[in-house]
Amino acid sequence: MLAVQDIEVSYHGVITALRGVSIEVPDGATVALLGANGAGKTTLLRAVSGLLRIHDAAIVRGSILFDGQRISGLDATAVVRRGIVQVLEGRRLFAELTVDENLRTGAIAARDAAATRRAYDRVMDLFPVLRERRASVAGYLSGGEQQMLAIGRGLMASPRLLLLDEPSLGLAPFMVQQIGRIISEISASGTAVLLVEQNAQMALAAASYGYVLETGSVVLGGPAADLARDGSVRKFYLGLHQEKQLGSFATLRTTRPERRWTLE
Amino acid sequence: MAFFFQIFLAGIAAGCIYALVALGFTIIFKSSGVINFAQGELLLLGAYLVSAGVSQWHLNFFLALFIAIAITVAIAVAFERFALRRMIGRPAFSVLMLTIGLDTLLLTAVIAIWPDVLYAPAAPYSTTAGFDVGGVHITINDIWTIIVTGILCAALYAFFRYTRYGLAMRAAALDQEAALAVGINVGLVNTFSWAIAAAIATIGGFFLAAHLSGVNPGLGVIALVAFPAIILGGIDSVLGAVVGGLIIGIVQQLTAGYENTALIHLFGQSFTLTDKLGPSFDAIAPYLVMLVVLLIRPYGLFGKRKVERI
């Protein structure tokens, strides 16, 4: 469905954020993208959704295909019309608009009234709490409700691929679990999800496949279950081991962890 | 009392014109963050086109108005598309200089095309006619100014509130990247805001010319009294533009009406404002009101308090 092929992205024409990254999202699958701050996860999402330009960045090499058609270089509106929507990190709701108005903005690009009504009903089924708060101003919702609204707004254009950037950020553990369940539901209803997460445990539980990104390159990729068992992933992203000194992820993958300095 | 009501009504009519200019500013600023210094000369060009359409080309008034709006809108849209669009990501100062450039260009063009100093305003009614109600003289022009401004404001409100283009513009004004991410064509939104601003400027230009009984190159400068109106109301507030415009218009007309005659008794002396401060204090009054309001509410009456990290 989505194939990112060997892309290189640079900001302001000088800073290379991604070098030779290739990933794939199969039809209807949920794929997790792990990595530390600054690894290039958000940049990768922006490259897919056409949001690089307003950050003064561009794809300088490689291409992105969606259903076999090249989408790299299209503007954000065109990408949304093709069926890919990105939900930005930090929710970024239109805080002064109501819940309903926020949802309507999500359908502005779609243009198909019947599809929009179906999408609206689907969002309300997925997030019953939004139905009760339809007329509330979005800025007054709780953090969890805001994240639901942000995802709901993304679903209003009936995307076939949803790009989620840190949906669990700043949420209570209970809400994180709920967001994880919602992602599984979305994916079960046929919408593929590319999920960027700091919370690797939630991400790997929701995803079927995962990639680890470090300083602009993919250093590891495989089925989510395998990644969850991988020693280095466990150590770095799941926090299941603690080392006194952590080197770079790439070097640690080739060297065996030696002595443990702390109790587990 | 009749005198007071008469000036007050004139104040509302003048305020409506300022409100129209201020609306144009605010709509562009909200959607794209650009302060458009060319708004005054867009108004000037609009006023000349309407006048020329009727008196030189002998067109029907409404046809002339339509053509004037079409031309100013085309210029504004072309400017946004081909000049401003290239400036995305550049410092706000460069963008501001571009709009000042457009301002100078329009003023020069108007003077070159219509070298005579004064042109008669064109209106489908007599701009000087009026009637008396209980000793208050009301001009037809003031009535039309108020009615049309009211209708325009209502139409704009409905547009922003109930249409998808209006919603897209509000969303883009709040968060450009989020608007892009949901697929809103932010470039189109910016173009559209310039088109609306230019259309409103033309209508404002027609009324300002009718108000002053003539079209002259100074109209654009007079329209800049809308600046205190915008800042008073809060630069990012559409409601603020209207309320600010009305306040400035009323304050200005009341000062103009009373500065020569109303006696002030202070420290055992009796004097008028003109005795102490000289004539035309009404030209400064709007700025004084603005200063006082800014002292109390630095972001304007309806503006949003902005927290910025330095």
The predicted model gives B158-179 an average pLDDT of: 91
Burial of A2 (0-12, 13-18, 19+ CB in 10 A): buried
- pLDDT score recorded for residue A211: 94
Question: Given CB atoms, is A112 within the 8 Å cutoff of chain B?
Answer: no
Taking only the tens place, the pLDDT of each residue in B100-128 is 999 999 999 999 998 876 777 788 888 78
The predicted model gives A234-238 an average pLDDT of: 76
- The closest CB to that of B167, out of A80, A93, A104, belongs to A104
Q: Taking 50 as the threshold, does the pLDDT of residue B247 lie above it?
A: yes
CA angle B267/B270/B275 to nearest 5° reads 110
Question: Given CB atoms, is A95 within the 8 Å cutoff of chain B?
Answer: yes
Percentage, residues of chain A above pLDDT 90:
72
Helices B39-55 & B92-113, crossing angle to 10 degrees?
Answer: 20
Question: Given CB atoms, is A153 within the 8 Å cutoff of chain B?
Answer: yes
Question: Given CB atoms, is B88 within the 8 Å cutoff of chain A?
Answer: yes
Q: What is the signed CA dihedral for A199, A201, A203, A208, rounded to 10 degrees?
A: 160
More confident residue, B235 or A92: A92
Pairwise CB contact (< 8 Å): B170 & A85: no
- pLDDT score recorded for residue B76: 96
H/E segment holding residue B116: none
- Compare all CA atoms of chain B with the CA of A56 and give the residue at the minimum distance: B89
How far is the C-alpha of B36 from the C-alpha of B24, rounded, in Å? 9
Question: Given CB atoms, is B162 within the 8 Å cutoff of chain A?
Answer: no
Closest Cα in chain A, distance from residue B22 (Å): 22
Q: Taking 60 as the threshold, does the pLDDT of residue A243 lie above it?
A: no
Helices B164-174 & B2-32, crossing angle to 10 degrees?
Answer: 70
The predicted model gives A230-254 an average pLDDT of: 64
- pLDDT score recorded for residue A262: 42
Beta strands in B232-304 (DSSP E): 264-266, 269-271
The predicted model gives A102-114 an average pLDDT of: 90
Q: Which single residue is written with the structure tokens 């939004």?
A: A130
Q: Which of the four pLDDT bands, split at 50, 70 and 90, describes residue B308?
A: very low
The predicted model gives B81-93 an average pLDDT of: 81
The predicted model gives A214-233 an average pLDDT of: 89
- pLDDT score recorded for residue A138: 93
Q: Taking 70 as the threshold, does the pLDDT of residue A263 lie above it?
A: no
The predicted model gives A136-142 an average pLDDT of: 92
How far is the C-alpha of A107 from the C-alpha of A79, rounded, in Å? 14
The predicted model gives B273-277 an average pLDDT of: 77
- The closest CB to that of A109, out of B175, B176, B183, belongs to B183
H/E segment holding residue A20: strand A15-25
- pLDDT score recorded for residue A50: 94
- pLDDT score recorded for residue A257: 46
- pLDDT score recorded for residue A252: 56
Question: Given CB atoms, is B34 within the 8 Å cutoff of chain A?
Answer: no
More confident residue, B195 or A198: B195
- pLDDT score recorded for residue B309: 42
Taking only the tens place, the pLDDT of each residue in A17-43 is 999 999 999 999 999 999 888 899 999
Q: Which of the four pLDDT bands, split at 50, 70 and 90, describes residue B303?
A: confident
Pairwise CB contact (< 8 Å): B171 & A92: no
Q: What's this model's pTM, rounded to 2 decimal places?
A: 0.85
Percentage, residues of chain B above pLDDT 70:
97
Question: Given CB atoms, is A2 within the 8 Å cutoff of chain B?
Answer: no
CA angle A38/A41/A42 to nearest 5° reads 90
Lowest mean pLDDT, pick from A182-186, B44-48, B215-219, B298-302: B298-302
- pLDDT score recorded for residue B223: 75
- The token pair at A116 is 């929009």
- pLDDT score recorded for residue A260: 41
Q: Which of the four pLDDT bands, split at 50, 70 and 90, describes residue A246?
A: low
Average pLDDT score, chain A: 88
Average pLDDT score, chain B: 87
How far is the C-alpha of B308 from the C-alpha of B306, rounded, in Å? 6
Burial of A215 (0-12, 13-18, 19+ CB in 10 A): middle
- The token pair at A4 is 């990112």
Residue B176: list chain A partners with CB under 8 A: 54
Q: Which of the four pLDDT bands, split at 50, 70 and 90, describes residue A250?
A: low
Taking only the tens place, the pLDDT of each residue in B192-238 is 999 999 999 999 999 999 988 788 888 888 877 888 888 888 877 88
Please state the length of chain B: 310
